[in-house]
Copies of this chain bind each other. A is one copy, B any other.
Amino acid sequence: MSAASTLSAAAAPLDLGGWQQNHLAQVEQALSQWVGHGAPAGLGEAMRYAVLDGGKRLRPLLVLAAYQAVCSGQPAPCAWHDAAALRAACAVELIHAYSLVHDDLPCMDNDVLRRGKPTAHVRFGPARALLAGDALQAFAFELLTPEDMPIPAATQAALCRLLARAAGSTGMAGGQAIDLASVGLRLTEGQLRQMHRLKTGALLQASVLMGAVCGQAAPAAYRALSDYGAALGLAFQVVDDILDVVADSATLGKTAGKDAIAAKPTYVSLLGLERAQAQARELLAGAHAARLRSDLPDTRALAALADMVLSRPS
């Protein structure tokens, strides 16, 4: 994952398929190498089940795309940059994976299908699934703070800070609490936006920012990437709401139509399908504008990922 080699032809259109395949392979290999080893009593197996062999890995790809965009504006990166970016990419995926495990539990959504497989609690029982989720969250922070690598402490601390905030009560967990409390209610568009900003947007935005931190982005580029991440994060959720209505379970790899069944407020239930689709397009346009505002020489991967979010599932 050398920034120099990957981004040698900044002017050429990006082969997203190739870029994605290459970087997905790195993420899958790293996750498989790191997750669940040494964990006792079937816990490691449950952790690996929850993380490996599934998922689009959008968050890790956002980390790596933002990292490479920042690197494209700088001289040759230090030796530790790639290692930090790969760890950050895996850490955000661990947080995402743990949140899915807990979200699927009987006391939450009680869902039985995820990424086309039985959910973790169906496979391992709810107690071990709960613990696997807890352990995955802790392991995300362990991955970000290696003792035996030359990743600067300032980078390690900044990555932990971003991830903790995005995962916690004023981020993902907070959004899930709003979600929980909103079943059967009619939210305003502002309230719905706030819920999704926290529930999904915070971790997607943090993914972009963690990549930026690994590349040591200058303040102006960091701010622009922050805007890109915020717009993309919200667009992702609007598209998610749309897909829940228009796609089937086989395509999604999870139970479709469950928002309506659960009487959850969504962009579609609030705005109708057409206006929700228009809003998704607007948000994506905002993401592209922010990306260009970063003034980084090569943001092709970020552009391609934004487009991918709108044209999911892929």
Which residues of A are in contact with B by a Cβ distance under 8 Å? Answer: 36, 38-44, 47, 98-99, 102, 105-108, 121, 125-128, 130-131, 133-135, 137-142, 144-147, 152-154, 156-158, 160-161, 163-165, 167-171, 173-174, 176-178, 180-182, 194, 198
A157 touches B153 (CB 8 A): yes
A74 CA / B268 CA spacing, docked (Å): 63
The answer to whether A161 and B177 touch (CB under 8 A), given A102-B134, A107-B106, A130-B108, is no
The answer to whether A130 and B107 touch (CB under 8 A), given A41-B174, A157-B157, is yes
B135 touches A160 (CB 8 A): no
The answer to whether A161 and B137 touch (CB under 8 A), given A40-B174, A169-B47, is no
> Closest CB-CB distance, A135 to chain B, in whole Å?
4
For this chain, the copies found in one complex come to 2
| Given A128-B177, A138-B164, A145-B158, 6 further pairs, Cβ under 8 A | A42-B181, A102-B134, A130-B130, A134-B137, A144-B160, A157-B160
B163 touches A43 (CB 8 A): no
Inter-chain contacts of A158 with B (CB < 8 A): 145, 153
A161 touches B178 (CB 8 A): no
A170 CA / B174 CA spacing, docked (Å): 28
> Closest CB-CB distance, A193 to chain B, in whole Å?
13
> Closest CB-CB distance, A199 to chain B, in whole Å?
10
B130 touches A145 (CB 8 A): no
B145 touches A127 (CB 8 A): no
> Closest CB-CB distance, A15 to chain B, in whole Å?
37
**Between-chain CB contacts (< 8 Å), 8 pairs:** A40-B169, A41-B174, A41-B177, A134-B173, A135-B169, A138-B164, A139-B168, A153-B153
Inter-chain contacts of A156 with B (CB < 8 A): 153, 156-157, 160
Which listed residue (B140, B141, B198) contacts A40, Cβ 8 A? B198
